[in-house]
Amino acid sequence: MDKKVVTVTLNPCVDKTMTFNGVVPGGLNRAAASRTDYSGKGINVSKALAAMGYKTLCAGYIFTDGGGRLTEILDESRIEHDFIPVRGSLRTNVKIFDLNAGTMTEFNERGNPVPPETTDLLIDKLKKLSGGASMFVLNGSLPAGVPVDIYRRIAESLPGAKIILDADGGAFREGLAAKPYAIKPNLYELESALGLILDSRKKIIAACEKIINDGLASVVLVSMGKDGAMICGGGERFYSPALELEVKALQGAGDSMVAGLCRAILDGVSLSEMLRYACAAAAGSIIREGTQVCENEGFERFLGEIKVTEADT
């Protein structure tokens, strides 16, 4: 744990999560609870890593309107940060969680545009940070003005660095071309990137192993919601079913899963344990409201409950 995990967040946000005991479309709905979290996918990964006792640093862009409160929160959590400030406001995302249905409906702003000239500034900053980093996590959406190949360009500017990629759409496809060490798509993101319908475990395994055999990634971790998660790498493949838990929120789970994967890599555990770590961290998040992430207590609580088996083909 001597070196830091650097997370890159290009589109930080304010998440407003409202929880309802059932939602009536077109009608009046009164929230049972609500909370506001200052976050962003990479920032969430750093929050989870820091809560589990690992060194991390948040990088990327920070918008001047609202960004000060975000950096205050990171300071309060003793999380290092080194952002490039840009003019504009933090975007606001509204999350509607229906407790009865167990579903989350999201309304996300795209965010303020970022000046094109900041791309080179960002890459230069990350190169300077690479000396003290054990890995880089590239994840999340892109604000307007950021080129779709930004994750590929970042990864290619950091030769020898261990890159963890968690993105979607064009940003995911471009980032994959840079051959990151590990990727963590959900099933929909994997299907969209490959242009395939992966409606069986056999097809999912085949898709993951093609990515690995083509040299595009060494480890592929796929989250499948209620159907659990799967990991492939080095000729091995493992599956873990989802735990039956009281779900209080969903949005922090994917980022916590990435943090669990990072922790596993830092600890040097086996591929099957990587999956166990990732799923334990995700479970530690979904029992918390809003977009809160896993803490060490939750990770340790669920680590022994996660079941991992060899995945069938």
What is the Cβ-side half-sphere exposure of residue 103, based on CA atoms within 13 angstroms?
5
Could you list the residue range(s) of the whole structural domain that residue 121 is in?
A: 4-310
Render pLDDT for 68-83 as a digit per residue (tens, 0 to 9): 999 999 999 999 999 9
pLDDT digits (tens, 9 = 90+) for 94-113: 999 898 888 889 899 988 89
Round the average pLDDT of the chain to a whole number and report it. Answer: 92
The whole-model pTM stands at: 0.92
Question: Can you give the pLDDT at residue 243?
Answer: 86
Please give the DSSP secondary-structure letter assigned to residue 132: G
Query: What's the pLDDT score for residue 55?
Result: 96
Q: Sign of dihedral through CA atoms 55, 57, 58, 64?
A: positive
CATH of the domain at 151: 3.40.1190.20
21's tokens: 């005991």
CA dihedral sign of residues 141, 147, 151, 154: negative
Measured between its terminal Cα atoms, the distance across the chain in Å is 36
Question: Does pLDDT of 280 surpass 70?
Answer: yes
Q: Under DSSP, is residue 3 helix (H, G, I), strand (E, B) or coil?
A: coil
Residue with the bigger pLDDT between 280 and 288: it is 280
Other C-beta atoms lying within 10 Å of the C-beta of residue 130: 17
% of the chain surpassing 90 pLDDT: 80
pLDDT in tens, 121-150: 999 999 999 988 989 999 999 999 999 999
DSSP string, 22-44: S--TTS----SEEEEEEE-HHHH
Is the per-residue pLDDT at 188 higher than 50? yes
**pLDDT tens digits along 247-273:** 665 567 889 999 999 999 999 999 999
Considering its fold, how many domains does the chain have in total? 1
Strands (E), the chain: 4-9, 13-20, 33-39, 56-63, 80-89, 91-98, 103-108, 133-139, 162-166, 182-183, 219-223, 229-233, 236-240, 309-310
The contacts of residue 160 (CB under 8 Å, 6+ apart) are none
How far apart, in whole angstroms, are the C-alpha atoms of residue 310 and residue 54?
A: 29
